[in-house]
Amino acid sequence: MKSYSIYSRKIHLWFLLSSVIAMIIAIFLMPSFRPIELSGYTMYVVTLNGESVGTVSSEEEAQSDLIEARRKVASGSDDLICVSADLSCTGRNVLWGTVDRHSDVVNAMADILDKDKDSTLTRCFTLKIGSYMAALASRDDIRQLLSDVSARYDTENQYLVSLVPDTDRQLGCLTAKISTAKEQEVENQKTSRLPIAGINEELDDVLITAEPEVTPDFDDYNLGITSMDFGKKIEIAESYLPASQIRSVSDVESEVLKDSEQKQVVEVKAGDTLSQIAENYGLSMDDLLAMNTNYEDENAVIRVGDLITVTVPEPELPVDYTKDEYYEEDYNEDTVYIDNDSWYTTKTEVVQEPSTGHRRVIAEVSYENDTQTGSKILKQQVMTAAVPMIVERGTQTPPTYIWPVSGGYVSSGFGARSAPKKGASTYHKGIDIACSVGTAVMASNGGTVSSAGWQSGYGYVVYIDHGNGVQTRYGHLSKILVSVGEHVSQGERIALSGNTGNSTGPHCHFEIRINGEAVNPLNYLN
């Protein structure tokens, strides 16, 4: 009985030992088992963008799985995909354990990447017009957009828009070209045909040279558009952008045709007034004065040649074109002037009264969009000749004095006053014309510069002698533009206003002295 018990225990021990050995062998043969190593971690828990994706045997395996997941996400689209991928591997040491299947980890990563896509970058084309930029889906869209814009003026559809390489750029950019279908055909023939050589070339040259010049008649002109181009530089480049940034043709078209206010500088011409300039450009007087702070109000003095800032409506994409036009009109000849050196410029006399003529005309008229920008008569037939006005006029400058600056106002008058600053005289020997530093100062009358430089109290000052004991002085200048002994004409720029010397603010001090005695300039200014 005892021997049986001993034998039975041996059998149990051998069974247990065999089971343990078999289990150990099975564990070591399992592909997902990670044996204990003497150093490092036995397995890694992987997270992507903060979400768990499984357990792998090494960090290298996690990186390899991420690359495969990226390929899987990208394979579903022909576009470039922008996606963030924050991969994290946390190492662990375990006696034994299992890792996740490779395909499960890759699929989990792909799901997270697909969910966290920042954007899909789509192939498109960026259109740049000056500072304006917009992305459209294709070159055909851009060509359609530009064709729609040009067609607003080319109502007979004579002109075509093509996209051609931009020779001004080293990189692969395109630009737009407008030409007739015939011009495009000729251009294509030039690039495809063989060059003319030998006797054929000489004969062609002789025929061209021998062709007689014929003056066209009215019926020989083809009326309508003769040339067309875009008024701003156009650049087109291939891009990759999120689909949300790609615009439709209609949206971009509405933007490039919309007028925006652009500042321009115009030169004052004879007869102009501030109120007339404001009206010409559709501005209120307050807006015009706000852009030209040198003028106090609409009655401020302006002179021919002054520069005035205005705003004008201008589309993002203007179209410049010329048209041959026929019309009949009443016309006037330019006034003919006869100079009389013995008269002052204030005296004129009409020698011949004008009369209006009538003519028929073929003219080349230039436009920017719907606004005429110029005209050149190509042919005319006078039906009734116009008679010009003939005016005799004086050339001598009269002994009068003009306002010495553009704009400005009297901030301190002539005569007795309370001294505005220590060292200043209580008797003002001129007038102060308030104006910003740098305003042009003109000679009030023609004469010779007798002093030009620094003088105590005046700061930078210019004296001009006009003959017959008359002298004008211009003080507190920021810059002198003439030198002693130089002859200046009435209205000629001699300096820039400033705030030098004994001055309380930017202005031009102006004096008139007769035989050395200061007089009130306001009694002499014209």
Res 45: pLDDT:
94
Three-state SS annotation for 395-408: EECCCCECCCECCC
Q: Are 124 and 136 in contact (CB under 8 A)?
A: yes
Pull the structure tokens for residue 36: 């204990």
Integer angstrom CA distances of residue 468 from 196, 447, 471, 492: 79, 11, 9, 21
Tell whether the torsion through CA atoms of 499, 500, 504 and 507 is positive or negative: negative
Amino acid at 174: L
CA distance 55 to 49: 15
CA distance 164 to 160: 12
Pull the structure tokens for residue 156: 């007979």
Q: Are 468 and 412 in contact (CB under 8 A)?
A: no
- Specify burial of residue 293 (Cβ count, 10 A radius: 0-12, 13-18, 19+): exposed
Closest C-alpha to 130, from 231, 232, 229, 230: 232
Res 422: pLDDT:
57
Res 39: pLDDT:
46
Res 384: pLDDT:
95
Pair type for strands 507-514 and 431-434: antiparallel
H or E stretch covering 37: none
DSSP track, 273-296: -HHHHHHHTT--HHHHHHH-TT--
pLDDT in tens, the chain (526 residues): 445 556 666 666 676 677 767 666 655 555 444 444 444 678 999 999 989 999 999 999 999 999 999 888 877 666 566 677 889 999 988 877 788 999 999 999 999 888 877 556 788 999 999 888 999 999 999 999 999 999 989 988 889 999 998 887 656 789 999 998 778 777 766 655 545 455 555 555 555 555 566 778 888 888 999 999 999 899 999 988 888 889 999 999 988 887 767 788 888 988 889 999 998 888 889 989 989 988 888 888 888 888 899 987 778 889 999 999 999 999 999 999 999 988 767 678 999 999 999 999 999 999 988 888 899 999 999 999 999 999 999 887 667 899 999 889 998 889 877 666 555 667 889 999 999 999 999 999 999 999 999 998 899 999 999 988 899 999 999 999 999 999 999 999 999 999 999 888 999 999 999 889 998 998 888 7
CA distance 453 to 459: 8
Res 424: pLDDT:
60
Res 217: pLDDT:
87
Q: What is the dihedral of CA 136, 137, 138, 140, to 10 degrees?
A: -70
Residue 453: left if φ>0, alpha if ψ -120 to 50, beta else—which one? Answer: left
Residue 438: left if φ>0, alpha if ψ -120 to 50, beta else—which one? Answer: left
C-alpha angle 258-262-268 in degrees, rounded to nearest 5 = 135
- pTM summary value: 0.48
- 3-class secondary structure, 192: helix
Pull the structure tokens for residue 6: 């001993």
Res 47: pLDDT:
95
Q: How far is CA 425 from the centre of its chain?
A: 51
Integer angstrom CA distances of residue 467 from 155, 186, 188, 495, 513: 67, 71, 74, 21, 11
Res 9: pLDDT:
65
